[in-house]
Amino acid sequence: MLTQDELKQQAAQAALDHVLPQLQPDSILGVGTGSTVDRFIDLLAPHRQEFRAAVSSSERSTRRLRAAGIEVLDLNDVAALALYVDGADEIDPQLNMVKGGGGALTREKIVASVADRFVCIVDESKLVERLGAFPLPIEVIPLAREAVARQVRQLGGQPRLREGFVTDNGNQILDVSGLNYGDPAEFEALLNNIPGVVCCGLFAISGAQVALVAGQDGVSRLELLD
C-alpha cells in the first residue's frame, strides 16, 4: 500500500513525463504551489537546460525553483505559457477544482489563465464525485472581510478566518464550509463578484484540461476533449 507521500511523488513523476516532451529550448513553464508541486520542481531540476525559464504562482515556489537553478520570470514579462502544472485540494471528473489550501489561489488563477493548458497533478484522495467537502478558500481584502463573510453566510456558507495567515498579496483568507456549488462555474462568478473578494478557490470557469491522478494501481489520466 503506497503512502500519500509516495502517491504525490508518483503524480509528480507523471507530470514530468507528460511535460518534458512538450518543452522546447525557448519554452516558459508555469509552475503552481503545494507539496506535490514541490516534488515536481525537484524532479524538474536536472532538466533545467531543456527549457528557458518558469513563471511561479507563489513566493514559496519561486524560492524552490531558484534553489534548483531554474530561472523565474515575472509574468508581466511573459506573453504566453504553453503549460501550467499545479495541484488541487479537490477535483471532480469534469476537472472543476477547489484550490487554495496553501493560500496561493489568486496567483495560481492568474498564471493558469495565461497558459494554453493546465495540467493538474493530484493523488487519488483529491478526486471526488462532487466538490464541496474541502472548505472553499476565498481571498479577501482585509477591510472587506466581515462584509464578505455576511454575504457568504447568506449563500449558506460558514466562513472562518484563516488565523495568522497573510497571502503573498497582503490579503486574508476566509475558509468557507457548507456551500452547495450547483453549477461550479456560475458559483465561481457569483463569489468573485462580491465586493472585497479578490479571488475564490473555485477553478471552474477555466479549469484544468488534463488531470494526472496517482492511485494504488498507478497514474490515471483524465482529459477534457477540445
- Residues with catalytic function: 108
Round to whole Å and give the CA distance between 143 and 156.
22
Q: Among 46, 213, 38, which residue's Cα sits nearest to residue 120?
A: 213
Longest dimension (CA), the chain: 52
Question: CA triplet 5, 28, 168: central angle to 5 degrees?
Answer: 60
Strand order, beta sheet including 53-56: 53-56, 28-31, 81-86, 115-123, 210-215, 218-223
> Which residue reads 495540467 in cell numbers?
119
| Residues 89, 33 contacting (CB under 8 angstroms) | no
